[in-house]
Amino acid sequence: MSLRFKPKFNVKKGDSVVVISGDDKNLSTPRTVLSINLEKGKILVEGVGIVKKHRKPTAQNTAGTIIEQESYIDISNVMLWDSKKLVPTKITRTRVNNKLVRISKKSGEAIK
């Protein structure tokens, strides 16, 4: 992704989103955004893209372990969740008091 201009995404950390494509697709269960990687256009969502990490045995941990954790998915695979209508929604940006506010297209309410 070119970094000449800073990309603008509709999703922020802490938002509720639904996964609209991939192995973890579920349009009825909202999940929370944990972090966003703007340079790569990737997003970390709780409970989505679980991978297993194998840890070698060390002096402190004599038995090796397998850790399950989330991995990044593409930001285009998620959609914001409208908590009023309980459906996924697109957004529009509107300027209110010289501040950009994200407005849901389904319900017309501001997304906080």
Q: What predicted TM-score, i.e. pTM, was given to this entire model?
A: 0.83
- Map tokens 């990044």 to a residue: 72
| Burial grade of 32 (CB within 10 A; 0-12, 13-18, 19 or more) | middle
Buried/exposed code over 62-99 (b: 16+ C-beta within 10 A; e: otherwise): eeeeeeeebebbebebbbbbbeeeeebbebeeeeeeee
Band (pLDDT 50/70/90 cuts) for residue 5 is: confident
16-56+64-85 has which CATH code? 2.30.30.30
pLDDT in tens, 49-64: 999 999 999 999 899 9
pLDDT in tens, 76-102: 999 999 999 999 999 999 999 999 999
pLDDT score of 2: 60
